[in-house]
Chain A
Amino acid sequence: MPGSAQDTAGQTVMRDWLDSLAEYRAKGVLVLGPDPFAANDNREVVAVYPPDFRSAGRALAVSDAYGAHWRVNGGSLVAFKNLDGMGGEAWVTDCLGRGVLSVVRTEIPMPFGQGFECFVFAARQFSDRKEASALVWSAMSVWPLIKDVIVASHFGISPREREILVAMAEGLTAKDAGKRLGCAERTVTFHLSNLMVKLKADNRAAAIQRACSLGLI
């Protein structure tokens, strides 16, 4: 996947995020996002910290324990599960082995019916949704910053490319975007070609749509 090895910026942000949740005894954080290049409702790991939670993240991405059906059925934005006694799935055993006692999930809706899902792995149990919501409230206060960094680094989008996406989304031509950003049209076009490869889009409109639905802009 793009950015899985080199996204140090993403790792730093995720570590800070986890640290900020110390009072809730958080042991790991995970962000799932829609897999834009797969069939509907497929999710993939956008960011995870620490990295040894990745396999749990992958399992959750394909698991029905939480997921799209839950969103569609009008559930709450916050959900939690105490892992004790859940048994069965490998990721649960794995988490219990790391001292994780519960998982809290929340969702951040995006355009086109998509959403990000954030999971916090905590070394404590929750007795009701109110407690879980307090954790989510705390976690979400820094979400906008986190989202920008992890999404861009997940797709390998540079700040410059993001500026160009924004200009395109505003309806500027490559020439005008160049004027605004103080570069030649050729630079804009080159960045756009690269963006289309990264976003696996065949045309400019699809690239912008994808950037929106992925929360890149």
Chain B
Amino acid sequence: MMARFPLVLLPKRVVYVDDDGWFLDILQKTMPRRRTREFIESPDAALQTLSQETAYWRDVEALLSGAQAARLDGMGEAPLYVRKYFQDWRRFHLTSVLIVDHGMPSMTGIEMLRRLEACPARRVLLTGMQIPDEVIQAFNSGLIQKFIPKGTPNIYKEVAACSDEMHASVCEHMGHLVRSTLTPGQIRLLHEPGVINGLTKKVEELGWIEYVVVGQPFGLLGMSHLGPLQWLQLETPKSLTELAEALADFEMAPADLQAIRDGTALLASEIRAQLGVVDNRQLVVTDSLCAAPELYCGLLDLPVKVLTARDYGLDDIRSTEELMRSLLRDVQMAHNATAASDESDLDDSLDEALEHFGATSALSDFHSQSARAVVAAARLPAVLAGRVDTALKAAQRDRGGDGHRE
């Protein structure tokens, strides 16, 4: 459990550096999709990319550090975040987790990482089963935060888990830059386990890949990889009274003001005014985010221009064809494993892969056409081709007659 809710969530970007293409290939398929990841096969190329990124880190840090000044200026930090952060492509180039193979022929992982000490990314080293002394030293000196022997069972799961954790710690670190925009009371709230829990769930539920906590008005600006930018306004019973008071200077129906005081609705007029968005005075229905301490939230989409991860081309799976090809590769791998062994649980994994392939192909006409195309291009062995065909047909049947013609 986190001790406090991180004030910033950056788009996650994990870079894997390994000259062993086969290992990267598996990682590529196993690591969670919809997150930015890059697989680089040469340490030199990685050094070039990551040194460039270090400059971007500095830019984003400078920007977040300017939030307090924007507040004192009267502009407010939200317009700064919208104009300078959520429109900036550089935030998609901040590698927070760096996973490097130690045993690369041209340069060891440690050598490479030593040259990247200015990069704020957390560093994981993949080693052989024998851990060399220099790896232990690198760990003790803080150059690497973790090392994982490549032969570790469930290594992919472990890599995925530790990269989530490390990404969170990088975000938390960046969050300190905007801490000065929050009041001590707001900071205290974000330390409350109930609030942390409620907010974490909310962020997950909204599918946000990034957010920034804003102090005045209190809330979160965030978005999923598709956008739009959303505003999650946070209100305590006391701040709702103040909100109602601020709005009372305008012509508001008494019933609406009462709804705000009661915590059943709120108005996001402040963020709209700050962002220069026309205020439609539409009440936003509130949710209870946490019962103790009492915290309410209201969500609204902001019609402002932003650069989404998808618009920037960061969705890993760009086309249905790529998706189907990667799923078919799962099927082939499972098939090869089955052919090489007699164990029946491997057969289960083939069935599972086939079912997944079939079910995904049935999602839409695009998916089924892409599935047929990648199957035709793959030149599968006859046995497997038959099973794939059966899986596709079964899935189409399950999908039923909703407008699709064979």
Q: Give Cα A207 to B73, complex, Å.
A: 10
Which residues from A are CB-within-8-Å of B74? 192, 196, 203-205, 207
Flag whether B273 is at the interface (Cβ < 8 A). yes
Task: Annotate B40-83 by CB proximity to A: 1 below 8 A, 0 otherwise.
Answer: 00000000000000000000000000000000011110000000
Query: Of residues 187 to 217 in A, which have CB atoms within 8 Å of B's CB atoms?
Result: 187, 189-194, 196-197, 202-205, 207
A204 and B249 in contact, given A193-B273, A193-B274, A194-B273 (Cβ under 8 angstroms): no
**Nearest chain B CB to A53's CB is how many angstroms away?**
31
Q: Give Cα A169 to B274, complex, Å.
A: 20
Flag whether B276 is at the interface (Cβ < 8 A). yes
Task: Annotate B259-293 by CB proximity to A: 1 below 8 A, 0 otherwise.
Answer: 00000000001100110100000000000000000
Q: Choose among A191, A193, A205 the residue that contacts B249 (Cβ–Cβ < 8 A).
A: A191
Which secondary structure dominates where chain A touches chain B?
Answer: helix
Which residues from B are CB-within-8-Å of A180? none
Asked if A187 contacts B249 (CB within 8 A), the reply is yes
Q: Interface extent on A, as a size class?
A: 10 to 19
| Interface residue stretch chosen among B130-138, B184-192, B240-248, B371-379 | B240-248
Q: Give Cα A62 to B28, complex, Å.
A: 66
Asked if A190 contacts B269 (CB within 8 A), the reply is yes
B residues contacting the other copy or chain, number (CB 8 A): 18
Flag whether B360 is at the interface (Cβ < 8 A). no
Asked if A183 contacts B273 (CB within 8 A), the reply is no
Asked if B276 contacts A197 (CB within 8 A), the reply is yes
Flag whether A184 is at the interface (Cβ < 8 A). yes
**Nearest chain B CB to A158's CB is how many angstroms away?**
7
Flag whether A160 is at the interface (Cβ < 8 A). yes
Which residues from B are CB-within-8-Å of A183? 245-246
Asked if B249 contacts A203 (CB within 8 A), the reply is no
Which residues from A are CB-within-8-Å of B73? 202-205
Which residues from A are CB-within-8-Å of B276? 197
User: Contact residues of B with A, CB < 8 Å?
Assistant: 73-76, 216-217, 239, 242-243, 245-247, 249, 269-270, 273-274, 276
Can you name 17 A-B residue pairings with CB atoms under 8 Å?
A: A160-B249, A183-B246, A184-B245, A186-B239, A186-B242, A186-B243, A186-B245, A187-B242, A187-B246, A187-B249, A190-B270, A190-B273, A192-B74, A197-B276, A202-B73, A202-B75, A203-B73
